[in-house]
Structure 1
C-alpha cells in the first residue's frame, strides 16, 4: 500500500535521460576531446585546424564548443559530415567511424555523483533509460566507464533503429518497453532537441543547465529547468 501511494504521489514513473550535458557535464567531457581530434585530423596544420573548428563550431582560442555548434545536439553522422566539409577528399564514412571510436574512449565527467542518485531512483521503483544522439556504442562505453550501465533498462543512440531527437520515435520506444503511458515519463535533457522530442512524445520535460543551453532557451519547452540532475529527486517527489 505504501508503494502504491508513493507512486500515485510522484510526478512520473520513469525517467529518460539525455547523455551529454545531462548525465555528464558537456564541456568537461568534450572540450579536450574536440581539441585533440581537430589536431589529429589536421595533422597540426593551422589552416586545416581552423577549417575543422569552424565547421564543428569549436572556439580554438577558448578551447570550448560554441553554443550554436552542430556537434552539441547532432548525431555522430552529422558531426562527421561537418568535419568532411573541412577535409576535401576524406571519406565521410571513414570519418564517422573514426569519430565513433574516438568519442567512445573520451572520459565522461559526471554532472553529479551518479551511482547514488540513480540507485535511489531504482530503489523507488522508477524505470530509467538513456537516449542520446551519440552512437549506442559510444553511449554504452561511457555508461560502463562511469559504472552505471546496469542502472538502465533502455539505452539508445541515433543508430539504434528508433530515429534521433528531436523526433519522438526513440522516446516512444522507451515508453513501449516500460509499458508506461508517455505522460508518466519525463525526458530530461540539456538541449531544445531533447525537450522538443519530449513534447512531441507527450512526455513531461525537464531541462538542466550542465550543457550549453541557457535557461531562457529551455523554459518554453520545459516543465522545469534545474541546475543539474541532482535536483531531480525533489522535483519527482513534489
Structure 2
C-alpha cells in the first residue's frame, strides 16, 4: 500500500538530537543552577545528562519526554520557580536552541511535496517550540499539521495525535507513515496502524528500533530511495 502522508517527529528526526540538544542542555542547567556545581550535577543526573561530557545518555527520559515531564523532574531543584513557570521557561529556551538539521530540510521536504505527499510534525516538545524552530529553519509552511504534547491531542506513545494528523489530512493511517528516532514514535505508529520508519539521528541504536519498525534508515534523507523501492 502506498504511503501518501508522512508524520515526522522533530528532535532526533528532522533535527539531529545530539547536535541540537546537548549544548543547549548544558547551558540550561548552568543557568538554572546559577553557578552551583553540585546543584547542576544533581539536575543533570535526574535528566540522564552527563554534565562533564555534555551529552545525554541513551536511556535519558528527556529524549522522548515532554516539557511537562522535564519541568516536573527539575522542579525540586528550582524552588524559586513554580512548575508551570519552569515549564514555560524550558519551552521558551528550547525555541531558541541552535538547530542542526538532520539533512537540508527545505530541499528534502520540497522533494516529498513534489511527489504529492502530505507532511506533518508531531513532537513531545511544546507546540510553541516546534513552530518556532520550524519557522527558523524556513520550513514551517511545508507542513499541513504541527502538534506538540500540549496541542490537545496527547503525547506519544499515545496514538491519538497521530490519528489526529490522519483525520486532519483526510488520509487513512494505513496510507500514512510515522517517522521517528525513538520507541515512543514507533510504538505510537504501531498503535495507530501506520507504517513505521525509524531513523538513527537520535540516540537509539538500530537494534533497539528494528523490531518495531518497517524499516530503519540512517536519516530522513533516505526516504525518497525507500519510496522508490516500494514502487517496484
Q: TM-score range by the shorter chain?
A: over 0.9
Alignment of 1:74-93 (within 5 A): 74-88=65-79, 90-93=81-84
Paired residues, number: 229
| Consecutive aligned runs of 4 or more in structure 1 exceeding 6 Å deviation | none
Equivalent residue number for residue 203 of structure 1: 194
Whether 1:42 aligns to 2:65 is no
Query: In structure 2, the residue corresponding to 1:128 is in which secondary structure?
Result: strand
Query: Which residue of structure 2 aligns with residue 231 of structure 1?
Result: 222
Partner residue in 2 for 1:52: 43
Corresponding residue to 1:97 among 73, 84, 88: 88
Matches within 5 A, 1:140-151: 140-151=131-142
Deviations 1:164-213 (A, max 9, x none): 00000000001001111101000000000000000000000000000010
Aligned-pair CA distance for 1:88: 4.2
Distance 1:98 1:177 in 2: 30
Per-residue CA deviation, residues 133-180 of structure 1 (Å, 9 max, x unaligned), is 001100000001111000000000000000000000000001001111
- Cα RMSD of the aligned pairs, angstroms, is 1.0
Q: Distance in 2 between matches of 1:19 and 1:129?
A: 10
Residue 174 (structure 2) pairs with residue 183 (structure 1): yes
Tell me, yes or no, if structure 1 residue 126 matches structure 2 residue 113. Answer: no
What is the SS of the residue equivalent to 2:179? Answer: strand
The answer for the alignment partner of 1:29 in structure 2 is 20
- State the shift of 1:123 in Å: 0.8
Match of 2:103 in 1: 112
Q: Give the drift of 1:56.
A: 0.9
Normalised by the length of structure 1, the TM-score is 0.94
Identify the match of residue 10 of structure 2 among 19, 37, 59.
19
* Inter-partner Cα distance in structure 2 for 1:34 and 1:207: 24
Please tell me whether the aligned partners of residues 55 and 86 of structure 1 are also in contact (alpha carbons under 8 angstroms).
Answer: no
Q: Report the 3-state secondary structure (helix = DSSP H, G, I; strand = E; otherwise coil) of the residue aligned with 2:210.
A: helix
Task: Report the secondary structure of 2:166's partner residue.
Answer: helix
1:83-140, CA deviations, whole angstroms, 9 ceiling, x for partnerless residues? 1133345411111110010011112110001111100100110000000000110000
CA contact (8 A) 1:107 1:142 kept: no
Superposition TM-score, scaled by structure 2 size: 0.96
